[in-house]
Structure 1
């Protein structure tokens, strides 16, 4: 058995008096996909933010590639290859598509930046066609493509994708999952926080169900039966 690439050990996150993560522990093996599901308010986005360095844990530790990265800021985590794609797309709407991608590539060695941006255009040809357009003028699905391209451009080891399909038309959801599939094929480890539970389970290797900031259930996706989903997510999810 090899050590997991990412380990969350008894992590607690608070927003003032509100407890968002209550001693959460989980592990993610290198090259695998972990689906994180749960009802609204379960702590899914708080997990994404603490992994991406947007919030600091009030207790517990996070280890990535054998290093203690607890409390690292977002920029440092991204440079190390732990990339968070936030809910709400996280693009610079006042900049062009090309400028968004060039900004993301700024942490790539200078000699590799052009190739990195070129790979993003190959993955999402529509972005190449609209490279001179302001990101804010694109559709929600196209902005999500920018967000995903910005994450992949730095060749991450772990991609934390937070509700990337939220508010998208079914065709655009397919595009997002195609991009994630490309990342997985390149060996990227993915933590997938997703509203479409069965779509997430069909894509992932393992699943953790969050409830009130803790892991209510975890295991291989094959064991995430309808009974399990109904118990923690309600009959509609099952």
Structure 2
């Protein structure tokens, strides 16, 4: 994954550069008021520079909002959740090129992490970190059990899943409690779905991570497309700041403020 992709961050950066050029030009020429429409346009464009700079800086170096588009992280995250992602949790990175400027930490087992897709860098993906560098990961397709360094992650059956969502029929989904690293959370399994995965057993190399969705049988993750390069990491998902789906408005309000 060399270079960069044309995403919102790139367009926002271009906007900052263009408005900066207009702002500097108006200051250099001392253009505040003019009857010339072209000059008025330049002044107007330049006036957006401070706002775009603040938005770009905050989004690039601090926090960034994301909307959950699918059911792969149920029951932790639902379609329609709006989350905020801490972009300083795993290092301060340069915008666009994503080179790390300052090391601040590394992903830990159990973290909910946003990263650029291994298959399509223009798409952001969210999964839970299950394996970190040096870990031996094995997924048993028969029992649907995850083993980390030879030890099975504990799972306790809690019963049929009755949560609200629009994406898939809940019939056949069972909820289990588990612990990944030091994080206690819920996962879902389906009695009706079984897959053959390309990556069922491996050792996570340096600079890579193994991620999985909490909705285990409805998640394309490291079992499908492989490991997550450190360079692709965007940040750590911290919490839900809004939920919007007209079909579940009241229940959605209850999710606001949920920490991950």
TM (norm. structure 2) is: 0.21
More helix per residue: 1
Q: Which structure shows the higher strand fraction?
A: 2
TM-score (norm 1): 0.22
Structure of greater relative contact order (alpha carbons < 8 Å, 6+ residues apart):
1
